Structure 1
Amino acid sequence: MTVQTIKLALKRLCRALSQGVFAGILSCALVSSSATASDAQDQPLRSIGISVADLGNPFFVELVDSVTRRANELNNGQSVEVIVRSDAYDLRRQVRQLNEFIEQKVDLIVLTAADEYKIAPVVAKAQRAGIKVIAVDVNAHGADATITTDNVQAGVVACERLAKEIGYTGQFVIINGVSVSSVLERVAGCKSAINRYPDITLLSDRLNGTGSQEGGMEAMTYLMEEYEHLDAVFAINDPTAYGAMMAAQQAGRSEFVLASVDGSSFAIDTIQQPNLWIATAVQRPRLMAERAVEIGLALLKGEDVRQRFILIPAQLAEKHGSEK
């Protein structure tokens, strides 16, 4: 470029500035930028990725529905795209799902971790992409916030109820589940309750009912084959308990009582019928989901969220009169 060309360009620039052309361009740019920023502030939440363990479990169905409802309520009338996946307690599947959410550039991920610690690398990857990650029901290492039932307390109240029903003496079994924090804590709470009573004997806690009706039936069948008499059974969730009850009915066994954790409407209705199932510790998936969305949205807006670990106490729903 020659000196003469540079001088000519400078003259044109000065003329444009004097005529206000660049001022207009700058003004338009600022207005456009301001509008974009305002839009982003008005609707910071455009999409959510949800990965839960089992969409056949009413607890997780209510959790997903409540996340969707609350997100749309808080999003200034703008609909939120919600992508829902079930990992079936499979870590590899959940990692693929979270990577899919990252590729789709969701704003928020809500998950029930298949593995509290092994999920951490993909959680960190999502956060590096600017995505907020909220753990619900199960802890997830490195998540921006965690909202769960107080699962230790849930296990305590369910098994205290069983202990009371059997007169604080007898043979007790636990139908366990997958090794996630919620299950481990429920079992720990149950054991802490029954350990207070020296006349209660814990015969087994080794069988994994997989958190499902089918798994509960299978585990209960094995337990009844192994033990001629049982007094109380604790199942880690309602589907497991229902499967255990069905197995007992098919085998003609009615000498024991049964309790669980979840508190689904189906379970509460079933408990009121004449059967072995006497109680369930009620979780609050709707509240859990609402807090997850509220905290996630606050974090997306850059707000300071001080309480990032929330435990929600469970309440016991039990059979009226406690008759079998």
Structure 2
Amino acid sequence: MLILSAVLLVLMSACSSGTDTAATGTQDAKSASGTESGKKLKIGLTVPTLGNPFFVAMSKGAQLAAVKYNADITTVSADQDLAKQTAQIEDFITKKMDLILLSPFDSKGIAAAVQEAKNAGIPVICVDGSAEGGITSVVMSDNVMAGQQAAKYLADRLKGKGNIVIIDGPPVSAVTDRIKGFEDILKGFPDIKVIAKQNGEGNREKALSVMENIMQANKNIDAVFTINDQEGVGVKIAAEQAGRGDEFFISSVDGAPEAVEALKEKKAFAATSAQFPNEMVVKAVETGIKVIGGEKVDPQILIPVEQITQDNVSSYRGW
């Protein structure tokens, strides 16, 4: 009987030890991924276009976040089509994603799809621009700051006087905030005249075409502000093709690899306010996991931008 009692005691002790280990493992997995042990988070990310290096960098950030937070992240391109981005969100809902990350092509137009996700109980975290319809939070660059940086650089270099062009972009909050920051600073420089403001649609080809028309109508241009580097490079090409590459300089936003190369040339492309798209997505996933876990999060999380010029580009860490 004594021997039997000893054996039973050992067995009970082993069972108790196994239960404690399993519980600890479950807790560790839950803290790492925000879900129960053995279940990966399912996350859908939709971006305006993977034809832009900025959104390619964002997709790379999603890959980093997938490893860091034990998640399966599906990244899709809306190809600058509101209907397609709407359909992508609807598909994420059908697939019962745990979290939707949205970089909106049209902040207002996507509202119905966001509302549909909200009704399905799926949190929507916006990245690089807000959207209507009831998003949970937005993680983005301080785009007002980006516009302000560009305007200050431009105004200082022009010494407060000159003719400038603004190449606008898609109707998303990131773009409108950049324009707002830029124009707010310009109010303090009445001798800087905006002689043209047109939509370059955020891409190189359109900005090139728009700038060609602007140059035909204006013989004296001192500087150009573009809302992203894709447009900035398009403007640079247009100026060079017209033999006016030395006439004006370009101040932009993004910090893209192509802008880095253009800055190193030390020609018309003079400055860019650098964003960090990969960091944005990692932060968005982290924020979404908190929401899934029942935590409260800030409705807006801003990431500072960094002014990169021809003088400091060699020390810029890039994307």
Q: What band does the TM-score fall into relative to the shorter chain?
A: 0.7 to 0.9
Q: 1:177 aligns with which of 162, 165, 169?
A: 169
Pairs within 5 Å for 1:46-61: 46-61=41-56
- Rounded to whole Å, the distance in 2 between the matches of 1:210 and 1:236 is 9
Tell me if 1:197 matches 2:192: no
- Rounded to whole Å, the distance in 1 between the matches of 2:192 and 2:47 is 35
Pairs within 5 Å for 1:75-86: 75=70, 80-86=71-77
- What corresponds to 2:144 in structure 1? 152
1:36, CA displacement in angstroms?
10
Q: Which runs of 5+ in 2 are unaligned?
A: 1-22, 314-319
- What corresponds to 1:162 in structure 2? 154
- Please tell me whether the aligned partners of residues 217 and 247 of structure 1 are also in contact (alpha carbons under 8 angstroms): yes
- What corresponds to 1:68 in structure 2? 63
Q: Are the structure 2 counterparts of residues 43 and 236 from structure 1 closer, same or farther at C-alpha, using a change threshold of 3 Å?
A: farther
* 2:202 alignment partner, SS class: coil
Q: 2:263 aligns with which of 257, 260, 271?
A: 271
- What corresponds to 2:12 in structure 1? none
TM-score, normalization by structure 2: 0.83
- Please tell me whether the aligned partners of residues 50 and 85 of structure 1 are also in contact (alpha carbons under 8 angstroms): yes
Q: 1:90 aligns with which of 75, 78, 81?
A: 81
Question: Between Structure 1 and Structure 2, how many residues are aligned?
Answer: 283
* 2:175 alignment partner, SS class: helix
- Please tell me whether the aligned partners of residues 44 and 300 of structure 1 are also in contact (alpha carbons under 8 angstroms): no
- Rounded to whole Å, the distance in 2 between the matches of 1:119 and 1:44 is 30
* 2:131 alignment partner, SS class: coil
1:118, CA displacement in angstroms?
2.9
- What corresponds to 1:27 in structure 2? none
Per mean C-alpha deviation after superposition, the further-off stretch among 50-59 and 124-133 is 124-133
- What corresponds to 2:9 in structure 1? none
Can you list the C-alpha shifts for 1:237-287, whole angstroms capped at 9, x where unaligned? 000000110011010002101010001133123212131011000111122
- Rounded to whole Å, the distance in 2 between the matches of 1:223 and 1:148 is 31
- Rounded to whole Å, the distance in 1 between the matches of 2:39 and 2:312 is 51
Q: Are the structure 2 counterparts of residues 51 and 264 from structure 1 closer, same or farther at C-alpha, using a change threshold of 3 Å?
A: same
Pairs within 5 Å for 1:1-324: 40-42=35-37, 45-75=40-70, 80-141=71-132, 142-205=134-197, 207-253=198-244, 254-302=246-294, 304-320=295-311
1:224, CA displacement in angstroms?
0.5
- Give identity over the alignment, percent: 36
- Rounded to whole Å, the distance in 2 between the matches of 1:237 and 1:129 is 35
1:314, CA displacement in angstroms?
1.1
- What corresponds to 2:5 in structure 1? none
Q: Are the structure 2 counterparts of residues 286 and 114 from structure 1 closer, same or farther at C-alpha, using a change threshold of 3 Å?
A: same
- Rounded to whole Å, the distance in 2 between the matches of 1:121 and 1:192 is 32
Q: Which runs of 5+ in 1 are unaligned?
A: 1-33
TM-score, normalization by structure 1: 0.82
- Please tell me whether the aligned partners of residues 295 and 305 of structure 1 are also in contact (alpha carbons under 8 angstroms): no
* 1:41 alignment partner, SS class: coil
Q: After TM superposition, what 4+ stretches of structure 1 lie above 6 angstroms from structure 2?
A: 34-39
1:165, CA displacement in angstroms?
1.3
- Please tell me whether the aligned partners of residues 66 and 73 of structure 2 are also in contact (alpha carbons under 8 angstroms): no
1:44, CA displacement in angstroms?
5.6
- Rounded to whole Å, the distance in 2 between the matches of 1:82 and 1:258 is 36
- Please tell me whether the aligned partners of residues 261 and 281 of structure 1 are also in contact (alpha carbons under 8 angstroms): yes
1:58, CA displacement in angstroms?
1.3
- Counterpart of 2:98, as a letter, is D
